[in-house]
């Protein structure tokens, strides 16, 4: 946990379990001017049924709209505004996340507002009908944007209609079919202590204060903490190529490699480092070859998703049809170079560590770093250990990782575009 004998990140973490079973994580960061109060629920789109795809996302929209303390949404928004808070929420494949960003002195109000929303929201038919229309409009907007929709289509290519392959937004048919009973069932099945955790960064609240507020609000709807559920199995058969025809000038691509869940710190570090080495910034291998040297496209964007039952490393790009074959050929060549040992990892490690240090200033990144790991593992990822893992990564570890996961058997290429043919992707050849 030490770099050259000095602790790199001075983040003090402590955790406890409330009397009614909620996991709580506190992070203290010296001289950090922002406080955050958040709750994480292991209830993402993977929990939706096939018929009710989009339920988890619709649920997120409805939570906090009408509560015991703020029966009118506008009342809550006025409090948020007058106290200088920033509030947001999101739903992913795996979890839901609700949070307030605030000053240190406003910690008590932030937790009370968070718990009020999470534990005392009530929804009526009129609210449900109104928000369905909003969600359907959002889904339509996402579907019409190829750069956004390729994420959904790529997940379907990896996992089909099971578990992680479900459509987070759903569609007009599945969202329209959702009723009040579905809302209440979703809450009762997922909003319980073993499935949730609270994460605080630089809170002014003591452990007793947190215990009192969380316990007081949560006791209004349940005390039962025996609802633990095993992770759902993932469909392991997936498509090599996933296409959707659209009349557009460019092809939108997502190139995905299926991985394990990677709860091991070292494996997670290597996954992040490999993705960054290939596709993060001007100095990455893909951007150097594809843009700087050959002017084939604008940019390549990486994504690493490490979920509770699986994961993936994915690269997003937009390319003109005339450049498709050469682009795919170049990308596969750069991957094959790693397998042959033709890598220059040490300089990139310095770049990656610099990015890591800059990320720790971003409250969104910090919440994600600590919250996701604590929800999944009931322990926070240690930044100093992660820093050390990256610093100590060797060429051979990178080579072994790429040989294990960057292979045809774990590959899915998803493309949205015009006149798509499997033969157009034949230049992507992994050794």
Residue partners of 198: CB distance under 8 A and separation at least 6: 22, 23, 24, 25, 37, 38, 39, 40, 210, 214
Cα–Cα nearest to 427, from 302, 301, 327, 304: 327
Identify the CATH class of 11-218: alpha beta
Q: What share of the chain is helix, strand, coil (3-state, %, to 5)?
A: 50, 20, 35
Hunting for tokens 């009526």 — which residue is that?
A: 124
Backbone phi and psi for residue 222, each to the nearest 5 degrees, phi listed first:
-170, 160
DSSP-assigned beta bridge partners for residue 411: 257
Please give the mean pLDDT across all residues of the chain: 91
Identify the pLDDT of residue 25.
97
Identify the pLDDT of residue 381.
87
Residue partners of 405: CB distance under 8 A and separation at least 6: 257, 258, 259, 313
The SS3 of residue 97 is strand
Residues 299/290, Cβ–Cβ less than 8 Å: no
Residue partners of 269: CB distance under 8 A and separation at least 6: 386, 389, 390, 393
The SS3 of residue 219 is coil
d(C-alpha 123, C-alpha 67), whole Å: 9
Q: What is the pLDDT of residues 379-417, one digit of tens each?
A: 888 899 999 999 999 999 999 999 999 999 999 999 999
CB crowding 85-117: b at 16 or more within 10 Å, else e: bebeeebbbbbbbbbbbbbeebbbbbbebbbbb
Backbone phi and psi for residue 362, each to the nearest 5 degrees, phi listed first:
-85, 115
* H runs (alpha helix) in 234-316: 265-279, 285-287
Ranges for all domains in the chain classified under CATH 3.30.830.10: 11-218, 241-425
pLDDT < 50 stretches in the chain = 1-6, 223-226
Residues 311/304, Cβ–Cβ less than 8 Å: yes
d(C-alpha 320, C-alpha 323), whole Å: 5
d(C-alpha 76, C-alpha 63), whole Å: 12
List the 411-417 sheet strands across, edge first.
241-245, 411-417, 251-259, 311-319, 300-306
Identify the pLDDT of residue 161.
73
d(C-alpha 344, C-alpha 402), whole Å: 14
Residues 315/286, Cβ–Cβ less than 8 Å: yes
Identify the pLDDT of residue 58.
96
The SS3 of residue 297 is coil
Q: C-alpha angle with apex 316: 59 to 336, nearest 5 degrees?
A: 135
Alpha carbons within 13 A on the beta-carbon side of 381: 25
Q: What is the CA radius of gyration of the chain?
A: 23
Identify the pLDDT of residue 106.
98
CATH architecture observed for domain 241-425: 2-Layer Sandwich (3.30)
Identify the pLDDT of residue 225.
44
Token couple for 338: 């790693």
Q: What is the pLDDT of residues 6-53, one digit of tens each?
A: 468 999 999 999 998 999 999 999 999 999 999 999 999 998 988 999
Backbone phi and psi for residue 205, each to the nearest 5 degrees, phi listed first:
-85, 140
């Amino acid at each position: 946990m030490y770099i050259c004998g000095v602790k790199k990140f001075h983040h003090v973490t402590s955790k406890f379990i409330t009397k009614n079973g909620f996991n709580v994580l506190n992070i203290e960061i010296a001289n950090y001017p922002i406080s955050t109060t958040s709750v994480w629920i292991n209830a993402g789109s993977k929990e939706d049924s096939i018929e009710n795809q989009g339920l988890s996302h619709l649920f997120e929209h409805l939570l906090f709209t009408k509560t015991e303390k703020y029966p009118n949404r506008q009342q809550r928004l006025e409090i948020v505004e007058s106290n200088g808070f920033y509030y947001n929420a999101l739903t992913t494949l795996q979890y839901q996340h609700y949070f307030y960003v605030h000053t240190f002195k406003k910690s008590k109000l932030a937790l009370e507002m968070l718990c009020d929303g999470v534990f005392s929201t009530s929804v009526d038919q009129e609210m449900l009908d109104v928000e369905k229309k909003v969600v359907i409009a959002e889904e339509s907007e996402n579907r019409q944007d190829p750069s956004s929709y390729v994420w959904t289509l790529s997940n379907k290519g990896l996992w089909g209609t099971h578990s992680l392959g479900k459509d987070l937004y759903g569609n007009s048919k599945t969202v329209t079919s959702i009723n009040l009973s579905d809302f209440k069932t979703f809450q009762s099945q997922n909003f319980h202590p073993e499935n949730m955790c609270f994460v605080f960064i630089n809170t002014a609240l003591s452990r007793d204060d947190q215990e009192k507020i969380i316990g007081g609000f949560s006791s209004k709807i349940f005390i039962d903490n025996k609802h633990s559920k095993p992770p759902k199995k993932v469909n392991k058969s997936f498509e090599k190529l996933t296409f959707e025809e659209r009349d557009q000038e460019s092809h939108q691509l997502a190139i995905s490699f299926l991985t394990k869940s990677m709860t091991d710190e070292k494996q997670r570090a290597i996954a992040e480092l490999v993705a960054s080495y290939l596709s993060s910034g001007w100095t990455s291998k893909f951007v150097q070859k594809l843009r700087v040297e050959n002017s084939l496209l604008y940019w390549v964007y990486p994504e690493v998703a490490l979920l509770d039952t699986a994961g993936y490393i994915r690269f997003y790009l937009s390319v003109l049809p005339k450049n498709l074959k050469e682009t795919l050929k170049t990308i596969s060549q750069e991957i094959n170079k790693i397998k042959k040992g033709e890598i220059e990892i040490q300089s990139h490690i310095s770049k990656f560590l610099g990015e890591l240090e800059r990320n720790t200033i971003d409250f969104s990144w910090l919440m994600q770093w600590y919250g996701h790991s604590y929800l999944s593992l009931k322990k926070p990822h240690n930044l100093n250990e992660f820093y050390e893992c990256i610093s100590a990564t060797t060429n051979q570890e990178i080579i072994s990782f790429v040989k294990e996961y960057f292979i045809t058997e774990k590959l899915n290429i998803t493309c949205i575009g015009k006149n798509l043919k499997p033969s157009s992707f034949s230049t992507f050849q992994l050794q």
